Amino acid sequence: MASVLVIIVNWRTAEMTLAAAEAALAAMEGIPGAITIVDNDSGDGSEDILRAGIARRGWNRVRVIQSGRNGGYGAGNNVGIRAGLPDGSKPDYVHVLNPDAFPAPGAIRALVAHMERHPEAGVAGSYVHGPDGVPHASAFRFFSIGSEFEDAAKTGPISRLLANRIVPLPTPTEATRVDWVTGASMMLRQSVLDRIGLFDEAYFLYFEETDLCLRFARAGYATDHVRRSEVTHIGSVSTGMKSLARVPAYWFDSRWRYFAKNHGRAYAFAATGARVAGGLLLGLRRLVGRCAQQNPPYFLRDLLAHGMKAGCRAVAPERGTRTQTPVGSKT
């Protein structure tokens, strides 16, 4: 049977990461491979807690790697991918799993089975739901100028007009080909990673899984959403995004990078203009009392300021996508 390396990146969520590893270990029953937890230099004792927790439970298929820095989601996953399986060999598949995501017993097997049946698929993602059973968005279209305007405007007529640009897709009821899937639970074909490279570490958080799926697509490989693979996801535990009063700078950095890197700076400017226009329309609707929704505090101001600054700089080249083992990583 095909081998799988599950990678969980931890940043200051050691106990929850151990719970995710426990769920992944149960889902890995009968599947060759291992689980690697990458601690992204948490600095809060997480590494010791993780190592002690693994030893206490007697998990011989789980190990901890210290990345040595908090380079973000993609960088942490890259450390685990480069390290490979404990014997130094490469797996057939890499399963990226969030530390607050808990695969059902058959979730990983369903992804492997799908990938084995569909060699044209480079990425497969899970059906994700909350602890309450409510589905989370887990299948998506690529971002575009139209999607930026639609998402910012939040207006029924515009959403109907731009229905084929809306990024979150309705939750599929069967295995479905999509543009990209959530990074909370995604299976990657190792042989394609060897060809196109790993996550672009120039992204700190957000948009990095979208970027990787786009690179898979441009290399001729599909991304599929696999309904039979079910994962419970809490969401935003490490990032705290839900509780932030103001959108952090790294979100704007990642958004701009995605558009400018993949479509050019002119397209990035147009996408930013579309989002500003949609946001202004939303504000006008609020003024006339026809809309209860609103943007986060200072969002449009921060978006414009970031766009003007970013537009004056060259787009940085991809970082960390090479597959060799980094010097100085320790297990």
User: Token pair for residue 226?
Assistant: 């696999």
Place of tokens 């997480």: 46
**Contact (Cβ atoms closer than 8 angstroms) between residue 105 and residue 26:** yes
What's the confidence (pLDDT) of residue 330? Answer: 47
Q: What are the structure tokens assigned to 277, written together?
A: 């226009």
Who contacts 245 (Cβ-Cβ below 8 Å, separation ≥6)? 296, 297
pLDDT of residue 131: 96
pTM above 0.85, yes or no: yes
pLDDT in tens, 65-99: 999 999 999 999 999 999 999 999 999 999 999 99
* Predicted pLDDT of residue 124: 98
Residue 266's alpha-carbon distances to 150, 153, 259, 310, in angstroms, are 19, 22, 9, 12
pLDDT in tens, 267-300: 999 999 999 999 999 888 877 766 656 778 889 9
Level-2 CATH architecture, domain 4-243: Alpha-Beta Complex (3.90)
Q: Tell me, what's the pLDDT at 312?
A: 84
The β-bridge partners of 63 are: 36
302-320 exposure pattern, b = at least 16 Cβ within 10 A, e = fewer: bbeebbeebeeeebeebeb
CB 85 within 8 A of CB 3: yes
What per-residue confidence (pLDDT) applies to 327? 39
Give the pLDDT of residue 245.
74
Domain extents in the chain: 4-243
User: Please, are residues 33 and 4 in contact by the beta-carbon 8 Å criterion?
Assistant: yes
Q: How far is it, in rounded angstroms, from Cα 104 to Cα 73?
A: 23
Positions of the chain with pLDDT lower than 70, given as ranges = 236-244, 289-293, 324-331
CA dist., res. 169 & res. 218, Å (int): 21
Predicted pLDDT of residue 328: 40
